Homo-oligomer: A and B are copies of this chain.
Amino acid sequence: MSDTLNPPRKRQAVTIKHVAAEAGVSLQTVSRVINNGPNVTPAVKERVKAAIEKLKYVPSLAARGLSGSRSYLILALNDKEPTVEGWREGRGNDWIDQMLLGGMLRSADFGYRMLFELVDSHSGKMIEQIEAALLSLRPDGVILTPPHTENQAISDLLSRYGVPFARLGSRGGEDGFSIAMDDAAAASAAVDHLHGLGHRRIGFITGSPEYRASEDRLAGFRDTMHKHQCLDEGLIEPGDFSYQAGAEATRRLLALDNPPTAIIASSGEMALAVLGVAREQRIAVPDALSIVSFDDTPTMRLTLPPLTAIRQPIAPMAATAAELLITVKNGEAQERSHILPFELIVRQSTAPCPR
């Protein structure tokens, strides 16, 4: 809350009224032109457009939001934790700038704005915080990013308010949109890549089991390994996306009598952990051990060696989410689940199998 009462009003700006006068039509007609409404004579439309151009008119978001049924706002929920904590560990929130890029630019195409809410899942007041944002902004759609994609309390809240939402990087539940890559296919591609290099004993570190993406990646791994007749359940180690868990899983894998010659990690963090442990144990990467990472982040390229990784198309995902949320007509049935193509970026952490 602000400390004082407000200063006097700002100077007058160009409003729809001025445009209407300039073009010699009514307010409503101008509004129709702005909103691409139907039933406007081309001549009138041109006249209005010229007036808009001439007066440099831009509609006020606040007025549109207040008056109309839409706010022209998309709210993106991001976790506060990785941003706050991550800095010291050398990582930022890799999603945010990509979301800005994809989501904001696509939103802009529709006259929308995207804005962020940093949400703290540990605060206990997360739901209240989101509810306040909903009430204050009345966004036309909400984008959920990990680790909030499959949070039931959040999706319940959004459903209760009737705000359409999209989950990014998750196949999601019954409600809302989901935009993700094909995690199973991605895992499969990673296996094929390594198998093609001659690897047969391939380790896999899973993500947190409560995420559908984790299951999918593991399923893709299992299926494809089975197809190649290389599946050894002993080479599957549980992880939870964190560096710590990745390091522990790696140690267990490397301590096996017959250790893997390659490891696929279900997250970028964990892939860095594999690399870290390998370095610690003086195991040469990629000569003695190949590594494939999920979640390609900018840092993957700067490690030594740079990591081969599955890239999740975050910017396109955010763009798709924004577009879906903006163009959704409630009532019309629509495809709720969208799969975007992943990319396998081959760098130098994968090499032919030594044996």
Tell me which residues across on chain B come within 8 A of A42, comparing CB atoms.
none
Asked if A9 contacts B302 (CB within 8 A), the reply is: no
Flag whether A334 is at the interface (Cβ < 8 A): no
Q: Which of A111-119, A144-152, A204-212, A214-222 contacts B (4 or more CB under 8 A)?
A: A111-119
- State the interface size on chain A (CB cutoff 8 A): 77
What are the residues of chain B within 8 A of A91 when measuring CB–CB?
298
Q: Which residues of chain A in 287-311 are interfacial with respect to chain B, using CB atoms and an 8 Å cutoff?
A: 298-304
For the complex with contacts A1-B34, A58-B131, A101-B118, 10 further pairs of A-B residues with Cβ separation under 8 Å are: A1-B35, A7-B69, A14-B135, A56-B135, A58-B132, A62-B63, A83-B98, A90-B301, A96-B96, A303-B304
Task: Enumerate chain A interface residues (CB-CB to B < 8 A).
Answer: 1-11, 13-14, 32, 34-38, 56-63, 65-66, 68-71, 78, 80, 83-84, 86-87, 89-94, 96-98, 100-101, 104-105, 110-111, 113, 115-116, 118, 131-132, 135-138, 162, 298-304, 315, 326-327, 329-330
Q: Is the CB of A136 within 8 A of B5?
A: no
Min C-beta distance of A2 to chain B, whole Å: 6
**Structural contact, A66 and B68, CB atoms closer than 8 A:** no
What is the CA–CA distance of A4 and B34 in the complex, to the nearest angstrom? Answer: 10
Residues of B within 8 A of A78 (CB): 100
Q: Cβ of A80: which chain B residues have Cβ within 8 Å of it?
A: 101
A37: chain B residues at CB < 8 Å are 4-5
Could you give 15 example pairs across A and B, Cβ below 8 Å? A2-B36, A6-B69, A9-B69, A10-B69, A13-B135, A56-B131, A60-B66, A61-B65, A61-B137, A62-B71, A96-B96, A96-B97, A97-B97, A113-B137, A116-B116
Q: B residues within 8 A CB of A101?
A: 80, 83-84, 118
* Among all A-B residue pairs, the 5 with the closest Cβ atoms: A90-B301, A62-B65, A58-B135, A62-B66, A92-B97
- CA separation between A11 and B100, bound complex, in Å? 30
Known contacts A92-B94, A302-B299; A136/B36 CB under 8 A: no
Asked whether, in the complex, the Cβ of B100 is within 8 Å of the Cβ of A35, the reply is no
Which residues from chain B contact A63 at a C-beta distance below 8 Å? 62, 66
Q: How far is the CA of A56 from the CA of B134 in the complex (A)?
A: 12
Q: Which residues in B have their C-beta under 8 angstroms from that of A315?
A: 87
Contacts of A14 in B (CB 8 A): 135
Shortest A182–chain B CB gap in Å is 21
Contacts of A304 in B (CB 8 A): 303-304
Partner of A6, one of B57, B68, B116, B137: B68
Kindly report which residue of chain B lies nearest to residue A314, judged by CB atoms. B87
